[in-house]
């Protein structure tokens, strides 16, 4: 084996983008969303993971940058994989982390050029403001938080078994 063979092998592997989002609720269970200035829809606080950055660190960084607060990044709740779409030439894997609960929006300082609004919404209200492929992450995150289990989605929905019946892929996580 020459030194160039591993380089060729790695060069031929699939590559994808990674994003990390914060699942934050208020004490009543309403979901915190942000309204980016550059999109027509709302989003979870978060964004793309930088090169060499762990997803949980990217989540904490994005919360600091977008909301001006420090969040404790807890359990991974949802992993969602989506194929290339639109102008995005690669697949994306999205990590949604449990970032706990906050009681008010008083301490939040929005990233002015990036975000125009932040608000809490009921489950249905949040799902209605998110893109169709992202909306299922709300229920998946709530369910994963309640079950203390990671949920895997594929393109915004639970993976299907070969027979076509819906299955929920989950992994139990140990509580800290």
pTM here is 0.85
4 within a domain of the structure (yes/no): no
Residue 156: the pLDDT is: 75
Domain presence at residue 127: yes
On whether residue 7 sits in a domain, the answer given is no
Residue 165's pLDDT is: 29
Structural domain includes residue 2:
no
* pLDDT of 93: 96
Range of the domain at 103: 15-148+155-172
For residue 77, give the CATH number of its domain: 3.90.79.10
145, 146, 144: which is closest to 168 by C-alpha?
Answer: 144
Q: What is the pLDDT of residue 159?
A: 62
DSSP code for 166: B
- β-strand pairing of 31-36 with 115-121: antiparallel
pLDDT at 13: 85
Structural domains counted in the chain: 1
- pLDDT at residue number 3: 58
Domain presence at residue 47: yes
Is residue 8 assigned to a domain?
no
Low-confidence stretches of the chain (pLDDT < 70) are 1-4, 158-176
Among 171, 111, 130, 163, smallest CA distance to 23 is for 130
- On whether residue 5 sits in a domain, the answer given is no
3-state secondary structure of 35: strand
Whether 31 is in a domain gets the answer: yes
């Amino acid at each position: 084996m020459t030194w160039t063979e591993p380089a060729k092998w790695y060069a031929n592997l699939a590559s994808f983008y990674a994003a990390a989002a914060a699942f934050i609720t208020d004490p009543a269970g309403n979901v915190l969303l942000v309204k980016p200035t550059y999109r027509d829809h709302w989003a979870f606080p978060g964004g793309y993971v930088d090169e060499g950055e762990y997803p949980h660190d990217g989540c904490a960084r994005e919360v600091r940058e977008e909301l001006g607060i420090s969040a404790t990044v807890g359990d991974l709740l949802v992993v969602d994989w989506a194929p290339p779409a639109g102008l995005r030439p690669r697949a994306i894997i999205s990590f949604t982390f449990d970032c706990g609960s906050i009681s008010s929006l008083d301490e939040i300082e929005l990233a002015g050029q990036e975000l125009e609004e932040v608000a809490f919404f009921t489950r249905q209200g949040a799902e209605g403001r998110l893109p169709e492929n992202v909306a299922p992450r709300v229920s998946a995150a709530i369910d994963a938080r309640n079950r203390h289990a990671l949920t895997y989605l594929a393109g915004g929905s639970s993976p299907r078994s070969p027979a076509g019946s819906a299955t929920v892929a989950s992994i139990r996580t140990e509580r800290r």
